[in-house]
Structure 1
Amino acid sequence: MIKELKENYGYLFEDSLLMEINSVGTFKEMPEGFQLIDIGDYIKSMPLLISGAIKIMREDNKGDELLLYFIERGDTCAMTLSCCMGQKKSEIRAITETPTKLIMIPVEKMSEWMGKYKSWQNFILQSYHDRMTELLEAIDTIAFLKMEDRIFKYLRDKAMVNHNEVILVTHQQIAFDLHTSRVVISRLLKSLEIEGKIQLFRNSIKILDL
């Protein structure tokens, strides 16, 4: 595990911190679509991504989901951090977008390392900043973009975290993630194809304008 840590976090953390992470962390490998955290869970550890991507979802009181943002290699989740530090129940759902490798850090190490390692403190504060920026972007997308633009942004983001211009996704899955109907998604995807931005296939979409 120390090799993966150095490759992904060696530029951020000093060797002593990397060694501590290696000694207390738990390495996990998850398939695509695995639910890491559910709404209402008490979070006992924080993920450090080694590879892959995780999508962070929010749920309304009717049980409908909305995609907030993705986290990728070298990231962690600010909402996970907040729940860990405050010992609160999770308000988000975290699901692997791709096959994912990560290291789970025990919650009790969070505050200890904040005081012990400046690099860890900087990492946590930067993670909060990055996730807040993405949340504001998600709000702006919902508030100001037309649904067609929201769909195209969603497709581009998904292609980037998958590192592939062809993404495997159904119209129904897009509808779930964007909290709308499959009929609306299908109609607007066809419009995007006519505009030359995407190419539609059965259960997959190629992004032509990345």
Structure 2
Amino acid sequence: MTPGKPEAAPEDGPDHPAMQGEPGTGTVFGQAAPAALRFDAVLHPHRSLPPTGFVIFMIVLAGISFLAGLAFLYMGAWPVFGFFGLDVLLVYFAFRLNYRSGRAYQTVQLSATDLLVRDIDPRGRERSWRFEPTWLRVDLDDPPGPRSPLALCSHGGTLVIGAFLTPEEKQDFAQALRGALRDWRAGLSGGAPAGAADAYRGSSPSTSAMV
């Protein structure tokens, strides 16, 4: 692996394979990593309405729509009754699609040899990128805004991660990963690592760490 470049990266450019990701590479989530991890985080899209809240919301919405539909049915406007039922179905399917997209997640793992980023889509398809930590930089606006990208940069290549995180979550994660990389480099120079993996526990429902 060339220092500072993602694995299997011939040249930077719009078709850079390392920037696109390579399906099937990397470790399998939930299994032991080949080397001890210095940092291990999982990033999830935030969902403000939990499954139980969704069920309660749909029951209330269906009840209100049914009563309103009965009122129109009583007045002789029977087609309106069907439209109220259609509205409930549309809301239901919209929420189901939203929850399905919430199955996607990303993992960021720093081992003694490299940093591995894995992106898993709602269908379980995986792409992964590897970086040499020595030259890796974590870029984020200070302070971050709603559209500020959280990016990993190395030798002209850039990978944006955690696009679904809030600005506060991005800042929290960036600080933790920078600390882990700083400790990793200190270990190379003979310093004593401060255990950066313990510094990031995930302060919101969208982020979590396993150490």
**TM tier, smaller:** under 0.3
By percentage of residues, which structure has more helix?
1
- Structure number with bigger Rg: 2
| TM-score normalised to structure 2 length | 0.27
| TM-score normalised to structure 1 length | 0.27
Structure number with the bigger relative contact order (C-alpha 8 A, sep ≥ 6) is: 2
